[in-house]
Amino acid sequence: MPDIRIDLTEEQLNAMAGEMREGLTPAHIDELVTLRSDARLAAGTFTEAIAAQSEKTGISKSALRRYICAKEKDALESLSTEKDDIETLLEMNP
């Protein structure tokens, strides 16, 4: 994670913002639009794949999606902790 600077004055921040705006070219905009379009299409493909696997396996779409997202982020441990918490809550309310 990049360091956050808190020692900049308002004038310095405004100058930095101006430099960033000046550096934003139509080519940058086109690239960002393409990236966003690709991301949207990939998200749609992912959603369709989740639905297909859910139907094939009988695992709920939301559970499968949460598992895949946690695995991709290497966060299965937090998902396991949440599972334990949900089991505890379900036991409290039979």
Domain boundaries, the chain: 9-58, 59-94
Distance (Å, rounded) from C-alpha 25 to C-alpha 31? 10
> Tell me, what's the pLDDT at 5?
64
Angle of helix 76-92 relative to helix 61-72, nearest 10 degrees, comes to 140
- Identify which has the larger pLDDT, 17 or 34: 34
pLDDT in tens, 18-36: 666 677 888 888 999 999 9
pLDDT in tens, 43-72: 999 999 999 999 999 999 999 999 999 999
Please, are residues 64 and 53 in contact by the beta-carbon 8 Å criterion? yes
